[in-house]
Amino acid sequence: MLRGADQQVDGVHWFGGSYEVDCWPEFKSLTGDVISRTAFGSSYLEGRRVFELQAELFGRVMKCIQKIFIPGYMYLPTENNRKMHQINKEIESILRGMIGKRMQAMKEGESTKDDLLGILLESNMRHTEENSQSSQGLTIKDIMEECKLFYFAGADTTSVLLTWTILLLSMHPEWQDRARKEILGLFGENKPENDGLSHLKIVTMILYEVLRLYPPFIELKRRTYKEMKIGGVTYPAGVIINLPVLFIHHDLEIWGSDVHEFKPERFSGGISKASKDPGAFLPFGWGPRICIGQNFALLEAKMALCLILQRLEFELAPTLKNIRV
Ligand code: HEM
């Protein structure tokens, strides 16, 4: 439930009153928009279409996975399989068209470096020119896969984070007030600047605590590439190991007896002092495959929270009042 006063912010008039809003689809739309503009810049609308198709494809794949596994079933011409094939073809055709147009523009000397696709294509072109003998760089197919990955990695994860944050701040109004005070103290009613966002201490503590309690990736998977010993056990090559992020974030021995409680203050001394084991906070993974979008995600979440908290107060909708999380 959002509540706002009648106010003028950044030249926009906000009418007061209370509204019931389902945050999840709103945040999905917001993060889809942000990632599409970042990845595809001026071709953002085509990018948006690709992402909508990917979301539909993902829904259909999940439906298949939930059924009993029959080897080869996905190759049968069922209605769902045909539709998935068609969606995939449409995604690839849009991406191929976008990449083709960009490469043409680059050949004609236009700079396309202001979005991810442009940076990827320019760096790939340079790499291919400099190493033409030893390495071919990325293929068009590789570039298409990178573009698809950015949507899956960057949109739903950040909307999960924002949705849980609004839910928890609705249940803990004292933290909502502290965050709002911090934001108004730093920016007043002005639009926050990138540099200023790094000074948000309370908001950062809140986001870390939400990521600890409800990490968007609840487990990570690794495969042993050779025989190796982990925790006293020897594993042969090819074993898949699950790293249960959710369980590690809820481990009483690491985080203490208040492990299940929403307590952003545990991060007041930074991540390293929040628990007995600094490596136990893994919302963005760890090691060489750590999330490359983590700074981007936190910046995006902070910006969204600032804009919301500057204008609105929120509480749980009456239908959610008895919810326990
Ligand atoms: C709250 C938001 C996010 C969370 C919790 C998150 C979490 C993660 C995690 C746990 C991984 C590592 C997976 C592994 O080790 O197997 C990962 C990888 C990745 N993330 Fe994020 N992510 C978020 C937002 C983003 C954003 C906004 C982007 C893009 C702008 C992004 C791009 C990527 C990419 C490309 C990878 C793959 C890196 C690689 O395989 O080398 N992520 N993310």
Instruction: Record the pTM.
Output: 0.88
> What is the 3-state secondary structure of 151-212?
HHHHCHHHHHHHHHHHHHHHHCHHHHHHHHHHHHHHHCCCCCCHHHHCCCHHHHHHHHHHHH
Q: What is the pLDDT of residue 143?
A: 86
Share of the chain above pLDDT 90, in %: 53
Question: Is 218 part of a structural domain of the chain?
Answer: yes
Nearest Cα residue to atom 43 of ligand 1: 291
Question: Is 91 part of a structural domain of the chain?
Answer: yes
Q: What is the pLDDT of residue 237?
A: 96
* Beta strands, E only, the chain: 2-4, 7-9, 12-14, 17-19, 220-223, 228-230, 233-235, 240-243, 312-314
Q: Residue 203 and residue 304: Cα distance in Å, rounded?
A: 11
pLDDT at 68 > cutoff 90: no
Q: Are residues 115 and 250 in the same domain?
A: no
Q: What is the pLDDT of residue 150?
A: 83
Nearest Cα residue to atom 24 of ligand 1: 154
Q: What is the pLDDT of residue 134?
A: 64
Asked if 205 and 264 touch (Cβ cutoff 8 Å), the reply is: yes
Which is more confidently placed, 106 or 12?
106
Ligand 1, from 291, 292, 298: best to mutate by most atoms within 8 Å of Cβ? 291
Q: Are residues 44 and 33 in the same domain?
A: yes
Of 112, 140, 171, the one marking the end of a domain is 171
CA 278 from chain centre, in angstroms, equals 23
Of 145, 171, 197, the one marking the end of a domain is 171
Query: Residue 247 sits in a domain of what CATH number?
Result: 1.10.630.10
- Choice among 45-49, 128-132, 206-210, 244-248 with the minimum mean pLDDT: 128-132
Q: Are residues 97 and 56 in the same domain?
A: yes
Specify the DSSP class assigned to residue 271: G
Q: What is the pLDDT of residue 238?
A: 96
Q: What is the pLDDT of residue 12?
A: 57
Say how many Å lie between the CA of residue 158 and the centre of ligand 1: 10
Q: Are residues 93 and 226 in the same domain?
A: no
Q: Which domain holds residue 69?
A: 23-171
pLDDT at 54 > cutoff 70: yes
Render pLDDT for 298-322 as a digit per residue (tens, 0 to 9): 999 999 999 999 999 999 988 887 7
216 ligand 1 Cβ < 6 A: yes
Asked if 158 and 23 touch (Cβ cutoff 8 Å), the reply is: no
Q: Are residues 148 and 43 in the same domain?
A: yes
